[in-house]
């Protein structure tokens, strides 16, 4: 699988990456065997970029990735995790389920912490859960309400770790693009992860983040390119999720119209959704989740499918994409 660089840090990301939210039991519990099978199927597909976070299943995603990658050559893959939510033991929570969307016991609780000590502790805890001695990429995770702490304490702490060699590249991951663009302009980042804001349905990041990233030489990872499920099937289904909630009717109808254009051009909605972000020169990788080998193989098939140039032109003609975007070209 082709790779794209993260600045000049010696880090290269495969164009398709596997995200770890599902391995943290997002929405539903999966078995350790299915989680391992998803990672194995991704590896067989050529995926060498894996992303996780302490937030995903209160550390479960990191532990599963650690076990699944333990027998892989460390120099052959890139792994990213995140800081900002420290996990603190909660002995009274073992009888409850986590209240943040992950089907796991609430034996830990999340504490927002972008301080220097908090960042360093979070990295050390992640290394222990992953069974690693260094990290390739670390993101500040969702600092939406914590700008000052993140820029004044969290980012310098990551920069220290980068200078020490404990982390190769550093960045920020968020569900919005405007603050990410501000981070790009004001901090010496290597990479940012934007979730759901540069997809076949939504292109807000094209107005702020992507131009800033190009100007400053910052790589962009496009996550949640299925918009939490709305673009994950050839035909959007009633009740499909968008940004973790049931999709509003106008977006559902828009997705259906795009699906009809896909059918006319012999492609599918998931294939187009995976290919679209990579048309922009700032985007290095698209990251998707999978809960088992079957889902990962379906993602691989969609990623490898051909999306003809005429498809993008019809989307423009039907006002289903705005003019002026950088569109994919055939490999």
Give the right CATH number for 3-317 from 3.40.50.1470, 3.20.20.100, 3.10.129.10, 3.30.430.20: 3.20.20.100
Q: How far apart are CA 46 and CA 70, in angstroms?
A: 17
Is 244 tagged catalytic? no
Mean pLDDT value across the chain:
96
Instruction: Return d(Cα 208, Cα 136) in angstroms, integer.
Output: 26
Return the exposure string of 131-169: e unless at least 16 CB atoms fall within 10 Å of the residue's CB, then b.
Answer: ebeebbbbbbbbbeebeebbbebbbebbeebbeeebbbb
At residue 238, does pLDDT exceed 90? no
pLDDT at residue 255, as a whole number: 95
Q: Categorize the per-residue pLDDT at 199 as very low, low, confident or very high, splitting at 50, 70 and 90.
A: very high
Assess whether pLDDT exceeds 90 at residue 244. Answer: no
Residue 12's φ and ψ, nearest 5 degrees, are: -125, 135
User: By percentage, how much of the chain surpasses pLDDT 90?
Assistant: 91
- Provide the pLDDT for residue 210: 98
CA dihedral of 194, 197, 317, 237, whole degrees rounded to 10: 110
pLDDT tens for each residue of 155-186:
999 999 999 999 999 999 999 999 999 999 99
Between strands 108-112 and 135-141, the pairing is unpaired
State mean pLDDT over 205-232. Answer: 96
Close Cβ partners of 71 (under 8 Å, ≥ 6 residues apart): none
Q: Using one digit for the tens of pLDDT, what is the confidence trace for 103-129? A: 999 999 999 999 999 999 999 999 999
Residue carrying the six token digits 């001695």: 133
Residue 4: enclosing H or E segment and its boundaries? Answer: strand 3-6
Structure tokens at 111: 């504490």
Q: Do 151 and 187 contact (CB within 8 A), yes or no?
A: yes
pLDDT in tens, 82-100: 999 999 999 988 889 999 9
Give, as one character, the DSSP assignment of residue 66: H
The predicted pLDDT at position 331 comes to 60
Dihedral pair phi/psi, residue 121, rounded to 5°? -65, -40
Predicted local confidence at residue 239, as pLDDT = 80
Is residue 152 pLDDT above 80, yes or no? yes
Per domain, the residue ranges of the chain are: 3-317
**Backbone angles phi and psi of 110, in degrees to 5:** -90, 135
Q: Where are the beta strands (DSSP E) in 61-190?
A: 78-83, 85-89, 108-112, 135-141, 167-174
Distance CA 192, CA 177 (A): 10
Distance CA 29, CA 17 (A): 22
Residue in 27, 49, 56, 139 annotated catalytic: 56
Calpha distance 223→117 (Å, rounded): 28
**Taking CA 267 as the corner, what is the angle to CA 264 and CA 268, rounded to the nearest 5 degrees?**
105
pLDDT tens-digit readout, 8-54:
899 999 999 999 999 999 999 999 999 999 999 999 999 999 999 99
pLDDT digits (tens, 9 = 90+) for 253-265: 999 999 999 999 9
pLDDT band at 228 (very low <50, low <70, confident <90, very high): confident
Indicate the length of the chain as a whole number.
331
Beta carbons of 143 and 149 less than 8 angstroms apart: yes
CA distance 230 to 205: 19
Does 72 have pLDDT greater than 80?
Answer: yes
248-299 pLDDT, tens digit each: 889 999 999 999 999 999 999 999 999 999 999 999 999 999 999 999 999 9
> Does the pLDDT at position 230 exceed 70?
yes
């Amino acid at each position: 699988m082709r790779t794209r660089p993260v600045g000049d840090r010696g880090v290269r990301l495969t164009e398709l990456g596997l995200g770890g939210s599902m391995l943290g039991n997002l929405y539903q519990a999966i078995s350790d065997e299915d989680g391992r099978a998803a990672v194995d199927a991704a590896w067989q597909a050529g995926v060498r970029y894996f992303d996780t976070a302490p937030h995903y299943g209160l550390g479960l995603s990191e532990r599963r990735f650690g076990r699944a990658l333990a027998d892989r050559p460390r120099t052959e893959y890139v792994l990213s995790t995140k800081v900002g939510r420290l996990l603190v033991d909660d002995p009274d929570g073992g009888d409850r389920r986590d209240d943040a969307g992950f089907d796991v016991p609430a034996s830990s609780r999340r504490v927002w912490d972008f301080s220097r000590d908090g960042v360093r502790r979070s990295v050390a805890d992640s290394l222990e859960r992953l069974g690693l001695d260094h990290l390739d990429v670390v993101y500040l995770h969702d600092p939406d309400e914590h700008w000052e702490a993140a820029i004044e304490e969290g980012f310098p702490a990551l920069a220290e770790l980068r200078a020490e060699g404990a982390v190769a590249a550093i960045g920020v991951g968020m569900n919005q693009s405007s603050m990410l663009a501000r981070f790009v302009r004001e901090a010496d980042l290597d990479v940012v992860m934007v979730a759901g804001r540069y997809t076949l349905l939504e292109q807000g990041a094209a107005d702020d983040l992507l131009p800033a990233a190009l100007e400053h030489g910052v790589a962009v990872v496009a996550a949640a390119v299925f918009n939490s499920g709305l673009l994950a099937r050839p035909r959007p289904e009633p009740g499909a999720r968008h940004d973790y909630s049931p999709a509003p009717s106008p977006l559902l109808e828009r997705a259906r119209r795009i699906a009809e254009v896909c059918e006319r051009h012999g492609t599918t909605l998931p294939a187009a959704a995976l290919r679209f972000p990579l048309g922009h020169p700032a985007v290095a990788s698209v990251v998707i989740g999978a809960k088992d080998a079957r889902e990962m193989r379906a993602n691989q098939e969609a990623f490898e499918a051909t999306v003809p140039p005429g498809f993008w032109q019809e989307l423009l003609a039907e006002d289903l994409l705005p003019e002026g975007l950088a569109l994919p070209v055939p490999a």
